[in-house]
Structures are given as C-alpha cells and as structure tokens.
Amino acid sequence: MKAETFKVACSSCNLRELCMPVGFDQNDMHKLDEVVTTRKKIKQGDLLFENGETFTSLYAIRTGFFKTSVASEDGREQVTGFQMAGEIIGLDGIVNDHHTCNAVALEDAEVCVMPFDHIEDLSREFPVLQKHVHKIMSREIVRENGMMMLLGNMSAEERLANFLVNLIQRLFARGQSQSEFILRMSREEIGSYLGLKLETVSRTFSKYSEEGIIEVKQRHIKILKPDALKQLVKSPNCN
Amino acid sequence: MKAETFKVACSSCNLRELCMPVGFDQNDMHKLDEVVTTRKKIKQGDLLFENGETFTSLYAIRTGFFKTSVASEDGREQVTGFQMAGEIIGLDGIVNDHHTCNAVALEDAEVCVMPFDHIEDLSREFPVLQKHVHKIMSREIVRENGMMMLLGNMSAEERLANFLVNLIQRLFARGQSQSEFILRMSREEIGSYLGLKLETVSRTFSKYSEEGIIEVKQRHIKILKPDALKQLVKSPNCN
DNA sequence: AAGTCTTTTTGATGTACGTCAAAGATAGCA
DNA sequence: TGCTATCTTTGACGTACATCAAAAAGACTT
C-alpha cells in the first residue's frame, strides 16, 4: 500500500512533550518544526523500514504501535522492542547508514519523518536539541541493558511481570488507563521479545490470572493487583 | 587507590583510528585534542564508575580491559559488555546524568577522560565529531540488539561461539593474534554476559576442545578451527 | 450464518541447562 | 616452597521451560 505524506508542525503537536525537548522559547520552537519534513501513514502489518534498507531518517510515532525485530541468518526472529506514540525509532540505522532491524506497524499508524541530516544540522544550532538527541540514544542503551538483565537472569514470571509493568507505565505517561488495555501484539511476539515461547507466555498469563493478579481474555488485559505485579519485578525497570 | 591524572593529546595517539573520527585536517585535529582533558589509571579490580554516580564524562580506553554490568534489586549481576582499547564507555550515563551500570577494570588500565560538555561543545563546531558521537551510540544500540538475539534465541554453544568470534575480530582490529589469546574475564563473568552459568561455560569450552575446535588451558585459548567456530554463529554478529 | 483460518489455551512429555558437590589446577603469599 | 584462596573442571541429578499435540475461542470471508 502506498503511504500518504503531508506537512505538519511540531509546535502545535500534542505529543510535543514526549518526543521533543522541553524549555525553549516560541522562536526556537518554530525553527525546530524543520526537524519534521513530512508525516507518513503505515497500515497494520506494513514495514516502516527493514533490515538492509538505506537509513535516512528517524521516525517519531504519532499514532499507532510498532514492533522492531532482528533476524538471524537461519531466520529466527528476535523482537527488540515495542514502540508507541511519542517514541523515536530508527536509531539502529545511524552507525552504518542502513537499518539493521525491521519496524512493523502492529496497528494502523502515523509517523513524523525526521531526516537525520536535518536533525544533525539543527542540533549544531540548538544545544537543547543536541542534548535531547543524545539522551534519546542513551535511553535506548539503558533500556537494552535492562533487557539483557531480563533475558539473562530472570524467570518467565519475572519477565512477563516486567513487561506488563513497563507497558502500564508507558500507558500512564500517555494518559491512558493503566488498569485495562488491549495488547497490540500476539503471544508469540511477546514471547520473542521476552526470550520465551508463546505457550510459556500463555501459561504465565494463566498463572497470574489464577492468582487473581490480572484478568486475561485473549488480548484484553485487566490489572487487578498492580502491586503484586510490581512485587514480581525485582530488577531495574526496562523502559 | 588514588588514580594518577595527566594531560595528553589525541593527535599523537596511536589508537586515534579506533576511537576518533577519520578524515579531517591537522588544524581540526589539534582542536579535537580538547575533547580529552586528562588520563586516568585504574588498577585491576577498581571501578571506573559505578551505578548511581554522577555522569560527567565518557572514557576512551587507552590500555586495559573493562567489564560493565548492571545489578538487580536483589543483587543479581548481569554483565552488559567487555570493552578493550579504543572503545568508549559511559554512554549509559547521558540520559539521567548519572550512571546506571558499573565499569570495572579487569586488568590495570588507562583511560582518556572526555568531559561530555566538551564533547557536546566541540560537536557543534565539528560536524565530523558530531557524526562520530552519533555513530558510537548507534553502534552500541546495534550491538545490544545482537545481544538480545543471542540471549533470547541462541543455545549455549551458539552463544559461546558468538562470544569467541567477536573477541577474535576485535583482537584482529587491534593487530593482536587471532589464534591465541588470554581471556581477561572469569568463567562466571562470561556466563553472566551470555546468560549462562559458569559450569555451562566450562562444559561448552570442554566440548569445543574435544571437537578439536579450540585448545583451552584455563584462560589461555588457542583457536584451532576458526571456520568451525564461525559455522556455529548463525546470527548477526554482536560487536 | 456457516465455514475456514488464526490465535490462544491446556495437557503430556522431553531436554538443555541449572544446581549441588567434589576434585584438580593455578595464583598469590608467607 | 609449601599453604591458602580462588578459579576451573567434571559428574550426578533436578527443573524450568521447550516441544508436540489437540481442543477451544475468536476473527475473517462469503
């Protein structure tokens, strides 16, 4: 499907606080509008970018939900992250000028296209933007450190609790319900992300359910005992 | 132990090609000397920085060998990386102005201290440095993506092969022997990095040894069949 | 509204790696 | 040069999660 593209301004975007630096004046703000050249709509199931593709831009998610994944030579897939509104994807492409992972929309989505050349040019002009870019990249490094802890040291129960608590926090930051939500990804995708098989994910959901911690109906999740869930998370949180 | 500190210049450093951007003239080079303010010696076993410590600088390793690790609330340790000469550590500290991991010297080491403020100031002046900083951070993100694949999808044998092949490549890039080397870290530290127990690491070394792929005598490793090892690595290499 | 496809759940069984334990090997130190 | 302390190897056994399989629940199509 062909993606629509059109112009838009950050200065009037309600997600500004999530993906743009805070604390600079009106003038600077309008200059920063240049970071985003266009928007792009992505249909559910479609790729935003894929492994091997030439890197040109970072993408700020306006609406929708993505997963990123890497693949091994023999075809095994590892989901490396799930991204939602206000988050930035594409950082993997900077180092070698081409992407090393795939980004797939898990629901119809819209992203702001930010050509990386523009970002670098504007970064030199606006220290606040420069700092922001550095922090976004560092945050991703710290998140992945947390994922290494999760994948290397934690039990299935701890992994899934961690996953849910993290999701809840991010929904909270976006003003959505923390107690009830719909998972945008399959059991298999959750499993891939957490280094588990889909059956184990399903069984662990069932276990939480039996313990009255959550209510599960397919992809519909209701959090009954958020504290019990947080109790299960015994490691630095993976944002 | 008190660490010695003294001044030094990048422009005359033989590791320049590893940790500094390439392709700019003599004048720029001398300006870039400002990135490094001092050097610092770290004794084996000592911390370069630790979790919670205020972030001020990135460090370029001049000599020696480091491990970085994160810890969970209940004290489990996850090694997140091993770093050698020419590599940059401390990127985790940027996002929250304090470090979230520990960096320990596995042998006596010397690092170049690069205050991050200087880096940011000079980055605005020299696009080539700016790009370099971005690439270093992106490279770390891509490396960690690879580690997620390793930890989430690979068998003990594949993990260790991956680890060894990666080590060999980095030794090669430094002009050291690829066929014979001494491990700077314990079986337990390798295990922590690879999401395995030390016994499993030891057993896997023994297995390779029985198969004639490597020769193991404690920490002394001799690679007999590098191709057999590469054969075992069925996924994007984790640099 | 029936029929097909996909996803999720649940059960039975298998296995790769973990755990526990003890014996070498090496390094550091008096 | 022997004595500790630490690290590594190896064996026996246990277990958390994977695998295989089939039923149940939705979702999509016509």
Structure tokens at B23: 């392709």
Instruction: Determine the Cα–Cα distance for residues B169 and B140; give it in Å rounded to an integer.
Output: 16
What confidence score (pLDDT) does residue B14 get? 81
Kindly state whether residues A125 and A158 are assigned to the same domain.
no
Confidence of residue A2 (pLDDT cuts 50, 70, 90): very low
Instruction: Determine the Cα–Cα distance for residues B140 and B239; give it in Å rounded to an integer.
Output: 8
Kindly state whether residues A107 and A30 are assigned to the same domain.
yes
DSSP assigned state of A82: E
Measured in Å, how far apart are chain B's first and last C-alpha atoms? 32
Is B217 within a domain? Answer: yes
Is B77 within a domain? Answer: yes
pLDDT along chain B (239 residues), means of 10: 54 83 77 88 95 97 96 92 97 98 95 96 94 96 98 97 96 92 96 98 97 94 95 61
Kindly state whether residues A226 and A142 are assigned to the same domain.
no
Q: Model's pTM, two decimal places?
A: 0.94
Which range, A23-32, A217-226, B18-27, has the best average confidence (pLDDT)?
A217-226
Burial (0-12, 13-18, 19+ Cβ within 10 Å), A212: exposed
Instruction: Determine the Cα–Cα distance for residues B170 and B173; give it in Å rounded to an integer.
Output: 5
Q: Please report the residues numbered 96 through 135 in chain B whose beta carbons come closer than 8 angstroms to any beta carbon of chain A.
A: 96, 100-101, 120, 123-125, 127, 130-131, 133-135
Domain end position, chosen among A117, A149, A181: A149
Averaged confidence pLDDT in chain A: 91
DSSP H helical ranges for chain A: 16-19, 26-32, 116-125, 127-153, 156-173, 187-194, 198-210, 226-232
Is B237 within a domain? Answer: no
Q: How far is the CA of B113 from the C1' of C29 (A)?
A: 35
Domain end position, chosen among A98, A118, A149: A149
Kindly state whether residues A104 and A183 are assigned to the same domain.
no
Nearest CA in chain B to A137: B137
Is B236 within a domain? Answer: no
What confidence score (pLDDT) does residue B10 get? 84
Is A55 within a domain? Answer: yes
Q: Which of A142, A159, A192, A237 is the best substitution to test chain B (most B C-beta atoms within 10 A)?
A: A142
Domain end position, chosen among B113, B129, B149: B149
Q: What is the pLDDT of residues A124-172, one digit of tens each?
A: 999 999 999 999 999 999 999 999 999 999 999 999 999 999 999 999 9
Is A237 within a domain? Answer: no
Q: What is the pLDDT of residues A37-90, one digit of tens each?
A: 899 999 999 999 999 999 999 999 999 999 999 999 888 999 999 999 999 999
Kindly state whether residues A80 and A137 are assigned to the same domain.
yes
Kindly state whether residues A23 and A128 are assigned to the same domain.
yes
Q: Which residues contact A217 (CB under 8 A, 6 or more apart)?
A: none
Kindly state whether residues A204 and A92 are assigned to the same domain.
no
**B87 touching A (Cβ < 8 Å):** no
Domain harbouring A137, CATH code: 2.60.120.10
Is A72 within a domain? Answer: yes
Which residue is associated with the tokens 């479609």? A46
The shortest CB-CB distance from B120 to any of A80, A127, A147 is to: A127
Confidence of residue A8 (pLDDT cuts 50, 70, 90): low
Kindly state whether residues B119 and B186 are assigned to the same domain.
no
Nucleotides of strand D within 7 Å of the protein's CB atoms: 7-12, 16-21, 25-27
Kindly state whether residues B134 and B158 are assigned to the same domain.
no
Q: What is the enclosing helix (H) or strand (E) of A43?
A: none
Instruction: Determine the Cα–Cα distance for residues B39 and B54; give it in Å rounded to an integer.
Output: 19
What confidence score (pLDDT) does residue B211 get? 95
The shortest CB-CB distance from A70 to any of B78, B149, B154 is to: B149
Q: Which domain holds residue A119?
A: 4-149
Kindly state whether residues B124 and B208 are assigned to the same domain.
no
Domain harbouring A167, CATH code: 1.10.10.10
**B195 touching A (Cβ < 8 Å):** yes
Which residue is associated with the tokens 């509008």? A33
Domain count, chain B: 2
What confidence score (pLDDT) does residue A1 get? 38
What confidence score (pLDDT) does residue A7 get? 56
Kindly state whether residues A40 and A66 are assigned to the same domain.
yes
Measured in Å, how far apart are chain A's first and last C-alpha atoms? 32
Is A239 within a domain? Answer: no
The shortest CB-CB distance from A124 to any of B71, B130, B139 is to: B130
CB contact (8 A) between residue A140 and residue B141: yes
Structure tokens at A102: 């795939």
Q: Which residues contact A77 (CB under 8 A, 6 or more apart)?
A: A69, A70, A71, A192
Positions 154-193 of A with beta carbon below 7 A from strand D are 155-157
Structure tokens at A142: 């710290």
What confidence score (pLDDT) does residue A96 get? 97
What confidence score (pLDDT) does residue B238 get? 41
CB contact (8 A) between residue B94 and residue A148: no
Kindly state whether residues A144 and A163 are assigned to the same domain.
no
